[in-house]
Amino acid sequence: MSYRVAMDIGGTFTDVVCYDERSGTVTASKAPTTPGDLAEGVFAALGRVVDDPAGISFFVHGTTQGLNALLERKGARVLLLAGQGGRDVYQIARGNRDRMFDLRYRKPAPLVPRQDVMEAGGRLDYLGRELVPLDEESVRAAGRRAREEGFDAVAVCLLFSYANPAHELRAGEILRAELGDDVLVVLSHEVAREWREYERTSSAVLEAYTGPVVRRYLARIERRFAERGLAVPVHVMQSSGGLVNASYAMRRPLQTLLSGPVGGTMGGVAAARFMDRENAICIDMGGTSFDVSLVVNGRPDVSAEARIEGYPVLMPIVNLHTIGAGGGSIAYAEAGALRVGPESAGAVPGPACYGRGGTRATVTDANVVLGRVDPAWFAGGLMTLDVEAAGTAVATLADELDMDPLLLAEGICDVANAKMAQAIRTLTVEHGIEPREFALVAFGGAGAMHAVFIARELGISEVVVPRFPGAFSAWGMLEADVRRDLTHPYFRSQDTLDGPDMSRNFGTLEEDALAALSAQGVPEERRRVEHAVDMRYEGQDYTLTIPLRDAAEPAEPGFLETIAARYAEAHTSRYGHATPEAPVEFVMLRSTGLGSFPRTAAAAQEAPEERAAYVRDVIFDGAVHSTPVLRRSSLDGELAGPAIVVEETATTVIPPGCVATVDPNGFLIVKVNL
């Protein structure tokens, strides 16, 4: 058994990467995604890179099952059990307006209607001390209703359960006895042991809403593996950028919500490490969506909380900004103007050039019309594109807008590029980050086709196209660690801080994290734990997460002054100012257990083949350029634009004035003429 396999299941294609531990070689391919039964696409993709599936020693994949259920509002029917007097917490939510000047702003509709919220008697105080015992009969009543009315999941969120989970644990025992394994029971303190009642409730509801869908999917994948006699454990990418095995993911399905796109971020971290760069903007352009994430100081940009579709969720999550812009994004006329996306042609029927019945112009069709795609060797020869169908689709829209088809095709790409550049500004400029100080790492099936044009919009001078860009998110999963995140509420002012006590609490979290890694099968020598504390200035509402050197640091002399100085530095970086003389408060302890697997090679460039190429006419800036089309495997030395570089998983477009080179890792580095 020597194959380490990773797979990214996208809306259009299922991308797969295989690392052969014996030879050190990396191969990549893809297969069409099969929306009716994703497992079919999974095994079709496996067959393209592995001769004998019995040789697979490690398998990890990213899934968007939970996210799709949320986006399409096709999740489970959830019964919410709140504490006595807290029935309306979830409905009221927060009073702040996310879009201050949007006169049509509406809060997201709750995933659980008010009539499906019940109360459980009992009460704890803010320190977790019992004031009123749990009313077990009210919990049983909720269980009976869930069974009789056919609910798929029950979410339990009781007041102050983050301080003392005893009432929630007992409620969970009762509900599971009433409902068996057919109904998912979610306890809020297990999802997010953090304060803020509404946010914790929202997190529990999200897990209950998406959990049954994810659990069924993972169970089906494991069953299909077993049917084929494959004993390899299935791993899943988490939203935090770490891995867990499928059994844990089925218990904590919320962790997989963004598991597909996050693989690309972890690939960006690995690419930055190979190239000895600290900062990178990762862009993943596929058939349906465009995802942006950051690598800052060599680490993924991870937040302790996020909002997904307007719903707050308390869990470590890679900061991703996603828009509906991909190769399948449909171009259309609206009020006499050109619009592109977010509607996508998807895998079926797909762009017109796919020859599957699509008739509407897409971004991929525009690139075909402009000559920026090799129609005879698209996706490494997996598909032959229908150039005539693409031209007809673009010409039809051009007639509607009274434009020349070639100008319209370039306009479709320009509009898409502008939308994607704005998505990058949302994560950079709007947070005080200068994108010109970052390299642009482009991947996804269409990322390298548009990367240089996006870089020009932002003033970025360097574009990096890694090996196998169309399957880079899958490759990134092979570079990720097993990860478990643990938290412990710890409300202290600087005057009441007991450093040795904080250190002891971190020690307990570290033991739990190491035990969790052991349960995931990580060898002892590959386990490590990182610690951080959430802090704020006295009187502030929200916090910043400040890393610690180790669990023993809080017990050292001068710790308060050291950590306060770190907080002031982080506050200045985030908000542009700090108040060093102001007293600080401590809110939450965080420990992250990380278990590393053997890394893959950087997929170094093989000896270049003979540069077999042909020349075709390609449109750049409204002019026709005679442009060589080359296989990536033939590249050596410098390549001056214009040029089209094709490989099995993507196409890289190098416009006039740009120069590309291949570095020792096999990455294609494009210097952009600004």
pLDDT > 70: what percent of the chain?
A: 98
**Which of these ranges, 20-29, 247-256, 328-337, 594-603, has the smallest mean pLDDT?**
594-603
What are 283's strand-pairing partners?
292, 442
> What pLDDT is recorded for position 604?
44
What residue spans of 520-602 are helical by DSSP H? 559-575
Is the model's pLDDT at 460 over the cut of 90? yes
Q: What is the mean pLDDT of residues 489-504?
A: 95
Residue type, 490: Y
What are 257's strand-pairing partners?
none
What are 285's strand-pairing partners?
290
Secondary structure of residue 535 in the 3-state scheme? strand
165-197 b/e (C-beta count within 10 Å ≥ 16 → b): bebbebbbebbeebbeeebbbbbbbbbbbbbbb
Rounded alpha-carbon distances, angstroms, from residue 71 to 79, 177, 258, 344: 20, 32, 12, 14
User: Can you tell me the distance from the alpha carbon of 247 to that of 221, in angstroms, rounded to the nearest whole number?
Assistant: 12
Q: What is the mean pLDDT of residues 472-493?
A: 92
Q: What is the mean pLDDT of residues 375-381?
A: 80
Is the model's pLDDT at 664 over the cut of 90? no
> What pLDDT is recorded for position 232?
84
- 516-541 pLDDT tens trace: 999 988 999 999 999 999 999 999 98
Q: In whole numbers, what is the pLDDT of the chain averaged over residues?
A: 90
Q: What is the mean pLDDT of residues 278-291?
A: 89
User: Can you tell me the distance from the alpha carbon of 292 to that of 325, in angstroms, rounded to the nearest whole number?
Assistant: 11
- 80-113 pLDDT tens trace: 999 999 999 999 998 877 777 888 888 889 999 9
Is the model's pLDDT at 314 over the cut of 80? yes
Q: What is the mean pLDDT of residues 68-79?
A: 90
Model confidence at 78, pLDDT cuts 50, 70, 90, reads very high
Higher local confidence (pLDDT), 12 or 553: 553
Q: Using the Cα atoms of residue 221, residue 184, residue 254 and residue 189 in order, give the sign of their dihedral.
A: negative
368-382 b/e (C-beta count within 10 Å ≥ 16 → b): bbbbbbbbebbbbee
> What pLDDT is recorded for position 471?
84
> What pLDDT is recorded for position 261?
80
* Residue linked to tokens 């009992």: 122
Closest CA to 545 of 487, 481, 484, 483: 487
User: Can you tell me the distance from the alpha carbon of 466 to that of 83, in angstroms, rounded to the nearest whole number?
Assistant: 51
User: Can you tell me the distance from the alpha carbon of 613 to that of 608, in angstroms, rounded to the nearest whole number?
Assistant: 13
pLDDT > 90: what percent of the chain?
A: 64
Model confidence at 36, pLDDT cuts 50, 70, 90, reads confident
* Predicted TM-score (pTM) of this structure: 0.86
User: Can you tell me the distance from the alpha carbon of 453 to that of 495, in angstroms, rounded to the nearest whole number?
Assistant: 54
Token digits of residue 324: 């509906």
> What pLDDT is recorded for position 222?
87
- 585-634 pLDDT tens trace: 999 999 999 998 777 655 444 544 555 578 999 999 999 999 999 998 88
Residue 395 φ then ψ, to 5°: -65, -35
Radius of gyration, CA atoms only, the chain: 26
C-beta separation of 324 from 339 below 8 A? no
Q: What is the mean pLDDT of residues 429-456?
A: 92
Token digits of residue 227: 């049917």
Q: Residue 528: enclosing H or E segment and its boundaries?
A: strand 527-537
> What pLDDT is recorded for position 448?
94
Token digits of residue 466: 């890694």
Q: What is the mean pLDDT of residues 129-148?
A: 97
> What pLDDT is recorded for position 521?
86
Can you list the pairs that 613-616 forms with residues at least 24 positions away whose Cβ atoms lie under 8 Å? 616/371, 616/644
Is the model's pLDDT at 657 over the cut of 90? yes
C-beta separation of 262 from 64 below 8 A? no
